[in-house]
């Protein structure tokens, strides 16, 4: 196995070079239709090829949503495999939004799929769900360390339903979301310039000053654009941890397609807005 520089270090560098932004690739049926494409494998291929052309070498991070490719079966996964390879070859980091979570050998198999360098779906980082217990993620944590990849753990998500689990208070007085952040702080201890084990924390959640968000790792922040949050909101939401935030934008960029130029310009605009907002934060 090739020894890669840790994900956190690679992410810090590319964010500094290209701006701290992650653009989602979400080829759902309505979006394909808005591009004048059919909801079939040909439409998926055109959509994916266009977004890769627009975003590769432009943004720091791209986040494909696995489900929108899986729905086309093996041919859809093959489209995704090609896109992942092309994006990574262009120096764009790929976070697979698959939200995998299980126990034992099943979790290990998920880890092998996305975090082993010999896999055709090997990516720079994977979203995972810890709600079978944080310890259930150990196979993914271990393989990520070995391969130089990273994880983004669901901690404080922006969907309203998430609160019934993530805000539940444990016997020790901490809520579940805060407990996940504490685990990640331990994973990232001593890492420089930034650890490889991040959290998903919604940019739409308002003031999060009661949470210890400075986990010495990245914070993947959905909610910019179509969900209502703006780049200017980030310092107030994330406080001193704002420099490690990777805001995610999907629909607000993808709606500019199928023009490659319009897609690229939208991504650059959002990246510049985030850079300005973070740069002025105390």
Left (φ > 0), alpha (ψ -120 to 50) or beta: where does 185 sit? Answer: alpha
21 Cβ contact list (under 8 Å, min separation 6): 59, 60, 61, 246, 247, 249, 267, 270, 271, 274
- Please work out, in degrees rounded to the nearest 5, the angle formed at the alpha carbon of residue 114 by the alpha carbons of 80 and 221: 80
Point out the residues that are catalytic: 99
> Residue 103 class from Cβ within 10 Å (0-12 exposed, 13-18 middle, 19+ buried)?
middle
CA–CA separation, 90 and 99 (whole Å): 25
């Amino acid at each position: 196995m090739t020894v890669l520089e840790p994900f956190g270090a690679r992410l810090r560098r590319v964010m500094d070079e290209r701006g701290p932004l992650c653009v989602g690739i979400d080829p759902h049926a309505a979006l394909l239709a808005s591009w004048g494409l059919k909801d079939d494998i040909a439409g998926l291929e055109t959509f994916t090829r266009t977004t890769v052309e627009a975003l590769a070498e432009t943004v720091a991070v791209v986040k494909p949503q696995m489900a929108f490719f899986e729905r086309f079966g093996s041919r859809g996964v093959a489209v995704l495999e090609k896109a992942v390879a092309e994006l990574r070859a262009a120096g764009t980091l790929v976070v697979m939004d698959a939200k995998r979570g299980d126990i034992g050998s099943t979790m290990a198999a998920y880890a092998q799929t996305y975090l082993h360098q010999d896999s055709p779906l090997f990516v720079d980082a994977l979203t995972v769900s810890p709600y079978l217990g944080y310890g259930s993620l150990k196979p993914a944590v271990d393989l990520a360390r070995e391969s130089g990849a990273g994880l983004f753990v669901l901690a404080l998500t922006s969907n309203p339903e998430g609160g019934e689990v993530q805000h539940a208070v444990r016997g020790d007085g901490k809520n579940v979301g805060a407990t996940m952040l504490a685990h990640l702080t331990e994973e990232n201890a001593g890492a420089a310039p930034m650890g490889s084990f991040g959290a998903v924390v919604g940019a739409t959640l308002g003031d999060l000053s009661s949470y210890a968000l400075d986990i010495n790792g990245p914070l993947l922040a959905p909610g910019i654009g179509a969900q209502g949050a703006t780049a200017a909101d980030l310092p107030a939401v994330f406080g001193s941890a704002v420099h490690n935030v990777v805001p995610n934008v999907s629909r607000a960029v993808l709606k500019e397609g199928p023009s490659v130029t319009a897609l690229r310009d939208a991504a650059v605009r959002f990246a510049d807005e985030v850079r300005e907002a973070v740069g002025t934060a105390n």
